[in-house]
Amino acid sequence: MSDDSRPSPAGTRTAAVIPAAGRGVRLGPGAPKALRALGGTPMLIHAVRAMAASRAVSLVVVVAPPDGAPEVKSLLDAHALPERTDFLVVPGGDSRQESVKLGLDALPPDYDIVLVHDAARPLVPVDTVDAVIEAVREGSPAVVPALPLADTVKEVEPAGEPGEPEPVVATPERARLRAVQTPQGFDRATLIHAHETVTDDVTDDASMIEQLGLQVVVVPGHEEAFKVTRPLDLVLAEAVLARRRLNDGF
């Protein structure tokens, strides 16, 4: 048995904050993204189960759509979670950053490692979650799972109008780039300090730690930790679930 699969060593407790308050504009019209069904179960429930699957995680804080906290609470009551996992639901804010902050504000004092995980990444495998926790336990204040890129990336001068040709400014060396996923793992005090200090708009939590001048490290991510963003991602997510069901059947 690897160390990852054991419950927390004495003195370390891990909580997961799941921002789930977004509308899912890029997915198109419908319910808030986190509440859309995947394999008949809301995406958020998959994401909560993915965090609770780690024996180290003893609390999940779900940040619900601003007016959807009661609905999310009853959803969580209706779906089984492991007995060792508690959960809390708080209403979210206008930006992801604000929602994460509201989740952190609700954290009880006795957790020293915090994971932040997008509800929109419902299928992250438990081994990825455990690898992130392990790297924080080993002393990194901020850990992100990430994958090498398949596509070459160009930096452009963004066009004023949609569809206009955009001049290329640079082509970063692909081998040095990583596409970042969640859960990102943090020393709790460091993450809270970052959220209190950094006011710039950011698209992930680790970049706030970078702005503090602290070292962020990358560990291997997983293909199945992709973010459900556009309609085609739902097709892929259903296919991953179908493959898991098939594999479980044999």
CB closer to ligand CTP out of 141 and 183: 183
Number of other CB atoms surrounding residue 156 within 10 Å: 11
State the helix-helix crossing angle for 69-78 and 43-52, rounded to 10 degrees: 60
Number of other CB atoms surrounding residue 12 within 10 Å: 14
* Residue 142: strand pairing partners: 186
The terminus-to-terminus CA distance of the chain in angstroms comes to 23
20 binds ligand CTP (CB under 6 A): yes
**Span of 17-25, 131-139, 181-189, 193-201 interacting with Mg ion by CB under 5 A:** 17-25
- Minimal CA–CA distance to 18: which of 64, 55, 56, 57? 64
19 binds ligand CTP (CB under 6 A): yes
> From the list ligand CTP, Mg ion, none, which binds 94 (C-beta under 5 to 8 Å, kind-based)?
ligand CTP
CB closer to ligand CTP out of 24 and 183: 24
Question: Contact with ligand CTP (CB under 6 A): which of 3, 5, 6, 23?
Answer: 23
Footprint of ligand CTP on residues 97-116 (CB under 6 A)? 99
* Per rule CB under 5 A, count of chain residues that contact Mg ion: 1
89 binds ligand CTP (CB under 6 A): no
Q: How far apart are CA 220 and CA 81, in angstroms?
A: 27
Using CB under 6 A as the criterion, what x/- string covers residues 168-207 for binding ligand CTP?
----------------------------------------
Cα angle 76, 82, 85 (rounded to 5 degrees) comes to 75
Q: Name residue, tokens 């459900």.
A: 228
Q: Give φ, ψ of 187 to 5 degrees.
A: -65, 125
Using CB under 6 A as the criterion, what x/- string covers residues 120-159 for binding ligand CTP?
x---------------------------------------
34 binds ligand CTP (CB under 6 A): yes
